[in-house]
Structure 1
Amino acid sequence: MTPESEKLNQQESPEMPCAGPKNKTAITAAKASTQNDTQSEGSRLAWVLLMGCAVRLCAFVLFPDLISHYLSGCVELSTPVTSYKRLAEGLHLCAHDISPFDGGVFHQSPLLLLLFKAFYYLPEFFTNLVYVGADALVALILAKLAASKRIQQQQRIQQRGPAVPGEIALSCSPSMVAMLYLFNPLSLGTVLVRSTIVFSHLAIAAALLAGLDGLANQAVVWTAVATHLSFYPVMLVAPIALMSAARSTATGNQLKSIALTVAKFLFVLGAMHAVFVALYGMQYFTATFDFTLRVADLQPNVGLFWYFFIEIFDEFRLFFFVVFQLTALAFAVPVSWRFRRKPLFAATMLVGIISALKSYPAWGDLALFLGLLPIFEELLKYMQYAFLSANLLMYGIGLAPVFWHLWIEQGSGNANFFYAATLVYVFGQITLLFDLGSAMLRRELDIHHPETRARPVIQE
Structure 2
Amino acid sequence: MSPKTQARHSQKSGASVAQPAQTEATRLAYVLMIASTVRLTAFVLFPGLVSTYLSGRVELSTPVTSYKRLMEGLHLSAHAVSPYDGGVFHQSPLLLLLFKPLYYLPSIFTDLLYTAADVLVALMLAKLAALKAKSALHLSVPGETRFVCMPSVVAMLYLFNPLTLGTTLVKSTIVFSHLAVVGSLYFGLQGRTNRAIVCAAVATHLSLYPAMLIVPISLMAHNRQQRFGSIMATVVKFIVAVGLLHVLFVTVFGSEYFGATIDFTVRVADLQPNVGLFWYFFTEVFDEFRLFFFVVFQLTALGFAVPVSWRFRQDPLFAATFLVGIISALKSYPAWGDLALFLGLLPIFEELLKYLQFIFLSANLLFYGVALAPVFWYLWIEQGSGNANFFYAATLVYVFGQITLLFDLGTAKLRRDLDIQRPEMRTRTVIQE
TM-score bracket relative to the smaller structure: over 0.9
Match of 1:223 among 200, 224, 235: 200
How far did 1:459 drift? 2.1
- Separation of aligned partners in 1, 2:257 and 2:81: 13
Measured in 1, the distance between the counterparts of 2:76 and 2:169 equals 24
Deviates more, 1:163-172 or 1:366-375: 163-172
Q: Say yes or no: does 1:322 pair with 2:287.
A: no
For these two proteins, the number of residue pairs brought into alignment is 433
> Could you report, residue by residue, the CA deviation over 1:91-143 in whole angstroms, capped at 9, with x for unpaired residues?
00000000000010000000000000000000111111100110110000000
After superposition, the Cα gap between the structure-2 partners of 1:340 and 1:57, relative to the gap in structure 1 and judged at 3 Å, is same
Q: How many Å separate the matches in 2 of 1:27 and 1:108? A: 56
**Partner amino acid, structure 1, of 2:100:** K
Moved more, 272-281 or 353-362: 272-281
Tell me the residue number matched to 1:291.
264
User: Which residue is 1:144 aligned to?
Assistant: 127
Deviation at 1:450, TM superposition (A): 0.6
Give the equivalent residue in structure 1 for 2:404: 431
Unaligned runs of 5+ in 1: 1-17
Aligned to 2:83: 100
Equivalent position of 2:62 in the other structure: 79
Unaligned runs of 5+ in 2: none
| Residue of structure 1 in register with 2:218 after alignment | 241
Decide which moves more: 417-426 or 271-280.
271-280
Aligned to 1:362: 335
User: Hey, what's the Cα distance between the residues in 2 that align with 1:191 and 1:298?
Assistant: 24
Deviations 1:69-96 (A, max 9, x none): 1100000000000000000000000000
Tell me the equivalent position of 2:370. 397
What is the 5 A alignment of 1:122-137?
Answer: 122-137=105-120
The 2-side partners of 1:19 and 1:139 are apart by: 47
Matched residues in 2 for 1:271 and 1:146: separation?
Answer: 32
Shift of 1:328: 0.2
Report the CA distance between 1:31 and its aligned residue.
Answer: 1.8
Superposed displacement of residue 426, structure 1: 0.2
Q: TM-score, normalised by structure 2?
A: 0.98
For the pair 1:62 / 2:45, whether they are aligned, the reply is yes
Equivalent-residue separation in structure 1 for 2:283 and 2:189 (angstroms): 42
Q: Distance in 1 between matches of 2:249 and 2:276?
A: 29
Structure 1 residue matching 2:55: 3-state secondary structure: helix
Measure the CA separation in 1 of the matches of 2:361 and 2:50.
32
Cα RMSD, aligned residues only: 1.1
1:375 counterpart residue number? 348
2: distance between equivalents of 1:389 and 1:20?
Answer: 58
Among 251, 254, 257, which residue is 1:278 paired with? Answer: 251
Moved more, 327-336 or 60-69: 60-69
Secondary structure in structure 1 of the residue aligned to 2:100: helix
User: C-alpha displacement at 1:24, in angstroms?
Assistant: 4.0
- The reply to whether residue 343 of structure 1 matches residue 310 of structure 2 is no
TM-score, scaled to structure 1: 0.93
Residue 332 in structure 1 maps to residue 332 in structure 2: no
* In structure 2, C-alpha distance between the alignment counterparts of 1:322 and 1:171, rounded to whole Å: 42
Q: What does residue 176 of structure 1 align with? A: 153
Give percent identity, aligned residues only.
69
Shift of 1:152: 2.4
